[in-house]
Structure 1
Amino acid sequence: MLFNLRILLNNAALRNGHNFVVRNFRCGQPLQNKVQLKGRDLLTLKNFTGEEIKYMLWLSADLKFRIKEKGEYLPLLQGKSLGMIFEKRSTRTRLSTETGFALLGGHPCFLTTQDIHLGVNESLMDTARVLSSMTDAVLARVYKQSDLDILAKEASIPIINGLSDSYHPIQILADYLTLQEHYGSLKGLTLSWIGDGNNILHSIMMSAAKFGMHLQAATPKGYEPDPSVTKLAEQYAKENGTKLSLTNDPLEAARGGNVLITDTWISMGQEEEKKKRLQAFQGYQVTMKTAKVAASDWTFLHCLPRKPEEVDDEVFYSPRSLVFPEAENRKWTIMAVMVSLLTDYSPQLQKPKF
């Protein structure tokens, strides 16, 4: 039996910027989407097309609506287990992954450096093979991107980058979902990055142009993004007709920007550089002075944890700040990543306008 099911989002969802409706069903089952990510690794968004990233955001919105707004129980990962390797401490990555995987019926297993010391007490190759025999996927929060590459090469299960010194793809998915909810569409937005040329900026550079977003990034001299990342980002901008601007002037990067974004100036492992970095980043604090040159509809993002020298309280706690919805969306986006890499589930909500 063919029938149409159309569900309008409730007022709370509308206030969050959703404009989605449920799609057509055949015999009670959602029509299959052409994008198939099952079995893939997520090491960097460089390896994913714009349509594939949009699919993960679509799935994130679908799960958030069905579970949070409608109160449905979706045991999509029942019987599955997740290995979680954490060389670096974490609040949002650990909580979002553990609670999200469990909410979908799966079992997450948290492993610290006290439990598993990558490449030291056991080779990366052996670790990958053992984990492949006992879990359905691995999320690893590590220092070196090369460790993730080896795990992915040797494992027979999906490997997800929970953060590395080079990339933080699951954070950027949460950022984009937050902006999608707020603005209704990502295409045409100008992202203004003010801070370090770090893993967050690298992940934005590997994906923003694929949505038709422009990027203006300001970093201090000596703290620019990796040249190889910049070269590829320039290629993406050319292919997608977007603008990429790199500067050392924070106000220049903020000018006309819809979204002001910053991050910590001192990442884990850089503590000994604190004094030098604080000096180099003088003038990079995001304030209302910065916002004055931004677009009239400006918003603010920070992946947390935040330090006052990076952004003052007036901006951080303002109505324009989306940092706490951004933090919550870490949960819905990592759930979508797990579902897309481990199952054949298709979203029931109509695909949003990106």
Structure 2
Amino acid sequence: MKRDFLNISDLTKEEILEIIEYAIKLKKDKFLDQTLKGKSIGLVFMKPSTRTRLSFEVGVYQMGGQPIYIQGSSTQMSRGEDIKDTARVLSRYLDGLVIRTYAHKEVEELAEYSDFPVINALTDYLHPCQVLADLMTIYERFGKLEGLKVAYVGDGNNMANTWIIAGGLVGIHVSVATPKGYEPDSKAVAEGLELAKKTKAKIEITNSPEEAVKNADVIYTDVWVSMGQEGEKEKKEFFKDFTINKDLVSKANKNAIVMHCLPAHKGEEITEEIFEQFADVIFEEAENRLHAQKALMSLLFK
């Protein structure tokens, strides 16, 4: 039976740990896994991308497969073809599909009508591939996940939503700080809280960055204006007190690290000083997209 990866909770806690351990092995030997030999994987991108596109293209190649980049505007979906029809056609050609788009329901419909595994490479609701790589990065730094605290400071966007769900799933305490009116999606919060009942993780939503970073092991941020929201630049006025700076970092645990999913708008969600101080972590996080996604594909296609 085929498996899709649309939400971080499509994996169990145990599978996430297995993926991380295997990704660390793949990091040392990039051609170790040849699960995709002879397979063609479509990469449909309705949104611009640097890390996601490159990490998947390189990853599929290193695993012996053929990556096929498909620009969203060049597909018949962009001209109104039913998603379910596109899914049924692609199922005749491809062995798997990675899609980066806007509406989460589009990915769900593609998965429903496809015969192959579908991987959510980003929607406006969730970004599970990024958080999978983030969890790997944190595990490499701390040697564990459960019991740590991640403070997410900024916009309650797809990254915040995914972190809330991931925290509840693996047992990481997550505190999200946003301005009033920019809190994470209530559906994601509900799912995170439900998952947290098993792992005893704490999920908190606050409007105070200082409260969020207290006792944090990881401070996480993202751009204030996401793709597709470029017309909402005035929203930045509400975020002026949500910049990751030296003073805010000093309120976290002594050995806390700062992470950013990139691209970064330095001087907005993070200062140049803090970005450069934690650049080794941030770019390791970016590299880990490749390794974590390869380990994920190995699981889905085994």
- 1:329 equivalent in alignment to 2:288: yes
Q: Counterpart in 1 of 2:39?
A: 80
Q: Counterpart in 1 of 2:219?
A: 260
- 1:156 equivalent in alignment to 2:115: yes
Structure 2 residue corresponding to 1:272, chosen from 213, 228, 231: 231
Structure 1 residue corresponding to 2:263, chosen from 276, 298, 305: 305
Q: Counterpart in 2 of 1:55?
A: 18
Contact 2:129 2:289 in 1 (8 A): yes
- 1:171 equivalent in alignment to 2:134: no
Superposition TM-score, scaled by structure 2 size: 0.96
Contact 1:286 1:311 in 2 (8 A): yes
**Aligned-partner Cα distance in 2 for 1:182–1:159:** 30
Superposition TM-score, scaled by structure 1 size: 0.82
Letter in 1 for 2:143: G
Q: Counterpart in 2 of 1:283?
A: 241
- With 45-54 and 105-114 compared, the bigger mean Cα shift is at 45-54
Query: 1:111 offset after TM fit, Å?
Result: 0.6
Query: 1:53 offset after TM fit, Å?
Result: 2.0
- With 172-181 and 318-327 compared, the bigger mean Cα shift is at 318-327
**Aligned-partner Cα distance in 1 for 2:150–2:287:** 21
Contact 1:218 1:253 in 2 (8 A): yes
Instruction: Give the 5 Å matches for 1:206-285.
Output: 206-275=165-234, 277-285=235-243
Q: Counterpart in 1 of 2:92?
A: 133
Provide the aligned length of Structure 1 versus Structure 2.
301
SS at match of 2:69: strand
- 1:102 equivalent in alignment to 2:61: yes
Query: 1:340 offset after TM fit, Å?
Result: 1.1
Contact 2:149 2:217 in 1 (8 A): yes
- 1:295 equivalent in alignment to 2:258: no
Percent same amino acid among aligned pairs? 37
Letter in 2 for 1:47: D
**Aligned-partner Cα distance in 2 for 1:319–1:63:** 24
Contact 2:8 2:132 in 1 (8 A): no
Q: Counterpart in 2 of 1:18?
A: none
Q: Counterpart in 2 of 1:198?
A: 157
Task: Give the unaligned 5+ runs of structure 2.
Answer: none
Task: Give the unaligned 5+ runs of structure 1.
Answer: 1-37, 344-354
Contact 2:35 2:301 in 1 (8 A): no
Instruction: Tell me how large the CA RMSD over aligned residues is.
Output: 1.5
Distance 1:172-1:327 versus aligned 2 partners, 3 A rule: same
Query: 1:120 offset after TM fit, Å?
Result: 3.1
Contact 1:43 1:159 in 2 (8 A): yes
1:253-308 Cα distance to aligned partner (Å, 9 max, x none)? 01110000000111111000012x11011110000101111001100110000001
Query: 1:326 offset after TM fit, Å?
Result: 0.2
Contact 2:153 2:220 in 1 (8 A): yes
Contact 1:315 1:321 in 2 (8 A): no
**Aligned-partner Cα distance in 1 for 2:216–2:298:** 33
- 1:123 equivalent in alignment to 2:86: no
More helix by share: 2
Distance 1:157-1:139 versus aligned 2 partners, 3 A rule: same
- With 120-129 and 323-332 compared, the bigger mean Cα shift is at 120-129
Pick the structure with greater CA Rg: 1
**Aligned-partner Cα distance in 2 for 1:155–1:235:** 29
**Aligned-partner Cα distance in 2 for 1:295–1:196:** 22
**Aligned-partner Cα distance in 2 for 1:65–1:188:** 28
Contact 2:258 2:278 in 1 (8 A): no
Distance 1:74-1:153 versus aligned 2 partners, 3 A rule: closer
Distance 1:292-1:320 versus aligned 2 partners, 3 A rule: farther
Contact 1:260 1:299 in 2 (8 A): yes
**Aligned-partner Cα distance in 1 for 2:198–2:47:** 36
Which consecutive segments of 4 or more residues in structure 1 shift more than 4 A?
none
**Aligned-partner Cα distance in 1 for 2:78–2:50:** 25
SS at match of 1:133: coil
1:102-132 Cα distance to aligned partner (Å, 9 max, x none)? 1111100011123214263421111101111
Query: 1:52 offset after TM fit, Å?
Result: 2.1
